Amino acid sequence: MSSYAAGFACLVGRPNAGKSTLTNALVGQKVAITSSKPQTTRHTIRGIVTTAASQLILVDTPGLHKPRTLLGQRLNDLVRQALLEVDVVGFCLPADQRIGPGDQFIAAELTELRKVRRRPVVAIATKTDRVDRQRLAEHLIAIDRLGEWSDIVPCSAVAGEQVDVVARVLSSHLPSSAGPLYPDGVLTDEPEAVMIAELVREAALEGVRDELPHSLAVVVEEMQPRPNRAEDRPMLDIRVNVFVERTSQKAIVIGKGGSRLREVGSNARRGIEALLGQPVFLDLHVKVAKDWQRDPKQLQRLGF
3-state secondary structure the chain: CCCEEEEEEEEECCCCCCHHHHHHHHHCCCCCCCCCCCCCCCCCEEEEEECCCEEEEEEECCCCCCCCCHHHHHHHHHHHHHHHHCCEEEEEEECCCCCCHHHHHHHHHHHHHHHHCCCCEEEEEECHHHCCHHHHHHHHHHHHHHCCCCEEEECECCCCECHHHHHHHHHCCCCEECCCCCCCCCCCCCCHHHHHHHHHHHHHHCCCCCCCHHHCEEEEEEEEECCCCCCCCCCEEEEEEEEECCHHHHHHHHCHHHHHHHHHHHHHHHHHHHHHCCCEEEEEEEEECCCHHHCHHHHHHCCC
Q: Which of 46, 54, 55, 28 is nearest to 82 (CA)?
A: 46
120 contacts 88 by C-beta, under 8 angstroms: yes
pLDDT at 227: 82
pLDDT at 113: 81
Cα 287 from Cα 53, distance rounded (Å): 48
Q: Which domains does the chain have, with CATH numbers?
A: 4-177 (3.40.50.300), 192-301 (3.30.300.20)
pLDDT at 39: 46
Cα 56 from Cα 69, distance rounded (Å): 33
pLDDT for residue 137 is more than 80: yes
Instruction: Return the minimum-mean-pLDDT range out of 52-66, 136-150, 163-177, 180-194.
Output: 180-194
Select, from the ranges 35-39, 99-103, 215-219, 254-258, the one with the highest average predicted confidence (pLDDT): 99-103
Share of the chain above pLDDT 90, in %: 35
pLDDT for residue 63 is more than 70: no
Give the confidence band of 5 by pLDDT, cuts at 50, 70, 90: very high
Give the confidence band of 35 by pLDDT, cuts at 50, 70, 90: very low
pLDDT for residue 44 is more than 80: no
Q: Over range 14-19, report the average pLDDT.
A: 85
pLDDT at 43: 47
Q: Over range 110-131, report the average pLDDT.
A: 90
pLDDT digits (tens, 9 = 90+) for 275-292: 778 888 999 999 888 877
pLDDT at 126: 98
Indicate the burial class of 65 (C-beta count within 10 angstroms; 0-12, 13-18, 19 or more).
middle
Q: Which of 72, 79, 20, 33 is nearest to 218 (CA)?
A: 33
pLDDT for residue 181 is more than 90: no
Higher local confidence (pLDDT), 278 or 120: 120
Give the confidence band of 209 by pLDDT, cuts at 50, 70, 90: low
Higher local confidence (pLDDT), 163 or 202: 163
Cα 175 from Cα 54, distance rounded (Å): 10
Cα 263 from Cα 257, distance rounded (Å): 12
Give the confidence band of 166 by pLDDT, cuts at 50, 70, 90: very high
Q: What is the mean pLDDT of the chain?
A: 83
131 contacts 159 by C-beta, under 8 angstroms: no
Higher local confidence (pLDDT), 32 or 243: 243
